[in-house]
């Protein structure tokens, strides 16, 4: 992630409040890792390699179908799909999917018993835009 991308992220609702230093990796691992802590207590792991031509992100929320109320089974999975219905900032249905697919990427999501995960890859120049839509 470039400094410009980092600055755009820090100008949103959450700002970078700390660097996570204790990232362990194999001595033969040529990837670069950087950990960040955001003001909303989210931990972010940035991974980069100079020979990769895609940017990717995954957001994992530690709540899934086991948290569904008994009277509303399937609500966690339903909420996963709400990402594709738009938001107040991006009101058009499937706007997120159109951005990803229209710029050489793909996306997916899943809900398990205790996690809901959203992930995508895209042209690196649009990573900040795709992240803004995701969160």
Catalytic positions, written as ranges? 80
Cα separations in angstroms, 90 against 19, 48, 58, 117: 30, 28, 19, 20
Cα separations in angstroms, 77 against 52, 61, 63, 111: 32, 12, 10, 6
d(CA 73, CA 85): 20
Longest dimension (CA), the chain: 51
């Amino acid at each position: 992630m470039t400094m410009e991308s980092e600055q755009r992220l820090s100008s949103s609702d959450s700002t970078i409040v700390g660097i996570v230093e204790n990232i362990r990796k194999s001595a033969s691992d040529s990837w670069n890792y950087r950990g960040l802590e955001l003001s909303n207590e989210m931990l972010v792991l940035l991974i980069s390699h100079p020979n990769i031509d895609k940017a990717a992100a995954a957001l994992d929320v530690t709540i899934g179908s086991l948290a569904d109320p008994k009277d509303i089974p399937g609500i966690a999975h339903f909420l996963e799909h709400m990402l594709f219905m738009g938001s107040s900032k991006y009101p058009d249905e499937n706007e997120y999917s159109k951005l990803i697919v229209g710029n050489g990427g793909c996306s997916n999501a899943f809900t398990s018993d205790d996690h809901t995960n959203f992930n995508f890859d895209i042209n690196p120049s649009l990573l900040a835009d795709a992240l803004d839509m995701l969160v």
